[in-house]
Amino acid sequence: MDNWLAELLAAIPAHLRRRTLYLAFSGGLDSTVLLHGLVALQRAGKIAELRVLHVHHGLQAAADDWAESAQRLATELNVPLQVLRVEVDKQAGQGVEAAARAARYAALTETMAAGDVLLTAHHLDDQAETFMLQLMRGAGVRGLSAMPMLQLLALPKGEANGQAKNHAWHLRPLLHVSRQTLQQLAVQQGLAWVDDPSNADTRFARNLVRHAVLPRLQQHWPQATQTLARCAERMASTEGLLLDLARLDLEGLRSEETHRLCVDGLRRLSTARMHNAVRAWLLELGLPAPPAARLHELQRVLDARVDAAPQLVWPGVKLRRWRGGLYALLDVIDPTLNWPGCTWSLQHPLELPELSLRLVASYVLGSGLKPHLLQQGVYVCVRQEASLPPVASRTSLSKRLQELGVPPWLRASLPLIYCGDSLLQISDLWRSPSFCVQAHEEGVMIRVERLV
């Protein structure tokens, strides 16, 4: 085994070599060299199953030719290839590059199973370019860490049960190899590859860095690419230390609710540690990180009056303070706002997709509602003007929800069960004592189950 293959094998952790490896193959120089290297390792028995994925973005006139070229090469090398056709949303407001990347990774992860490994051909120069781009965006330590060699890769939700699948892996085995070295390897092996003309378009930020900025830097500092990539490594180490510190701080801030932190505990931290802990918490929850301007407003939210219920909002997220807790919430349109409510006979489970809930009634000895009151069925609604019974008491309902400690943003989505104008039950939190059976009687228990 020559030095190049030995280095490539060393870049693949031993615990991943017997898993299914998926190579994201564009047909360009980088992925072509990587494909040939992986095939050589597989033939030598060093790695197990290798599969190739080619994403057809449909953005270039030659896209069909590239897909055919990828298929020919895969057939020649005797490796299975799958062409994934995607539609890139050019109007998404994030730029064509970002939209194509999002569509590409969505297609790649849809193909993979838990524990699989996605390999991409990002190299040393890509790392330096990413560092420069993040620097120009004013990124913090996490952004300046650029691309890790190995990271967990979240897979989309399974169709069978709606639960998040286990993670896969994303490996970049060429991250310490320069573009120049890859080109030399390709020439030595007589490899052919395709060139995407869009890679020369300096209207795109990455191409501008690649063709204009870095070459100028290298004229004065020949090792600029290596230096920038090394800076990214150091930022990654610093980010790791910051996450370790955040975990220590979060231990004293958590509650039984994963989306809640203790306000008093946050206020005891220095500003920098508070911001670091909140960033790490949001990262754990899979929520978008706050812009710096929003994070600087966090102290105002924490110091507000207890009854003020202040909040911070940025795309996709709301941070709300309530009763000594800071809550992280998805900022989405509430589908219950226009739900009119419905009647329910209790004979069969009632599915409420607007609430992502299912109601199920069953007989239980010594608990539940009095059966004779439910013979004509019940009315199920939410706390919205268009949904509540006309004579239902809004004041007593609001007071009851406050007594139960239901956060304000959840009150409008709790199922309310009425018999006429009388409130029988609030979700699975409360039942009216007046309508409940005695210990020796059989009652109707209405369970609230979450749809997944």
* pLDDT tens track, the chain, 452 positions: 689 999 999 999 999 999 999 999 999 999 999 999 999 999 999 999 999 999 998 888 889 999 999 999 999 999 999 999 998 887 766 677 788 888 999 999 999 999 999 999 999 999 999 999 999 998 899 999 989 999 999 888 544 333 344 789 999 999 999 999 999 999 999 999 998 888 888 988 999 999 999 999 999 999 999 999 999 999 999 999 999 999 999 999 998 888 999 999 999 999 999 999 999 999 998 888 888 888 889 998 898 887 677 889 998 899 999 888 999 988 765 555 567 889 999 999 999 888 888 999 999 999 999 999 898 899 998 887 545 665 455 567 888 888 888 888 888 888 999 998 889 999 989 999 999 999 889 999 999 998 76
Residues 360, 415, single domain; the answer is yes
| Alpha-carbon span 268 to 282, nearest angstrom | 19
Tell me the Cα Rg of the chain. 28
Q: 322 with 356, same domain? A: no
Distance CA 107, CA 85 (A): 8
CA geometry: angle 62, 100, 139, nearest 5 deg: 135
Residue 76 belongs to some domain of the structure: yes
- Whether 288 is in a domain gets the answer yes
Tell me the CATH number at 164.
Answer: 3.40.50.620
Write the Ramachandran bin of 105: left for phi over 0, alpha for psi from -120 to 50, otherwise beta: alpha
Of 219, 241, 267, the domain-final residue: 219
- Structurally, the chain folds into a number of domains equal to 3
User: Are 385 and 411 members of one domain?
Assistant: yes
Q: Are 145 and 239 in contact (CB under 8 A)?
A: yes
Q: How far apart are CA 18 and CA 191, in angstroms?
A: 27
CA 371/CA 441 separation, integer angstroms: 10
Helix (H, G, I), strand (E, B) or coil at 303: helix
Name the 3-class secondary structure at 380.
Answer: strand
Residue 349 in domain: yes
In a domain, 432, yes or no: yes
124-136 vs 224-251: helix crossing angle, rounded to 10: 60
**1 and 30: one domain?**
yes
Same domain flag for 25 and 154: yes
322 and 349 within one domain: no
Tell me: do 68 and 188 sit in the same domain: yes
Question: Are 291 and 347 contained in the same domain?
Answer: no
Q: Which among 275, 305, 330 is the end of a domain?
A: 330
State how far the Cα of 92 lies from the Cα of 346, in Å rounded to an integer.
Answer: 45
Q: What is the CATH number of the domain that holds 308?
A: 1.20.59.20
Kindly state whether residues 48 and 128 are assigned to the same domain.
yes
SS (H, E, C) 46-92: CCCCEEEEEEECCCCCCHHHHHHHHHHHHHHHCCCEEEEECCCCCCC
Q: Which residue has the tokens 């009216």?
A: 432
Task: Say yes or no: 166 and 140 in one domain.
Answer: yes
Question: What pairs with residue 118 in β-bridges?
Answer: 22, 170
3-state secondary structure of 152: strand
Residue 91 corresponds to which amino acid?
Q
In a domain, 337, yes or no: no
At which residue do the structure tokens 């996709």 appear? 316
Angstrom distances, CA of residue 115 to CA of 164, 168, 284, 350: 13, 5, 20, 37
**What per-residue confidence (pLDDT) applies to 160?**
37
CA distance 162 to 172: 30
Instruction: Indicate whether 138 belongs to any domain.
Output: yes
Q: Which two tokens stand for residue 335?
A: 């589908």
Does some domain include residue 235?
Answer: no
pLDDT (0 to 100) of residue 294? 87
Q: State the residue range of the domain holding 380.
A: 342-450
Q: Looking at the domain assignment, is residue 239 inside a domain?
A: no
Examine the domain organization and report whether 94 and 195 are in the same domain. Answer: yes
Question: Residue 92's pLDDT is what?
Answer: 66
Mark which of 219, 244, 278 sits at the end of a domain. Answer: 219
Q: What pLDDT does residue 323 have?
A: 86
pLDDT at 332: 63
Within this chain, do residues 213 and 263 fall inside the same structural domain, yes or no?
A: no
Q: List beta partners, residue 442.
A: 365
Query: Tokens 């060299």 appear where?
Result: 33
Q: How many CB atoms are closer than 10 A to CB 138?
A: 8
Selection from 120, 98, 99, 97 nearest residue 108 by Cα: 120
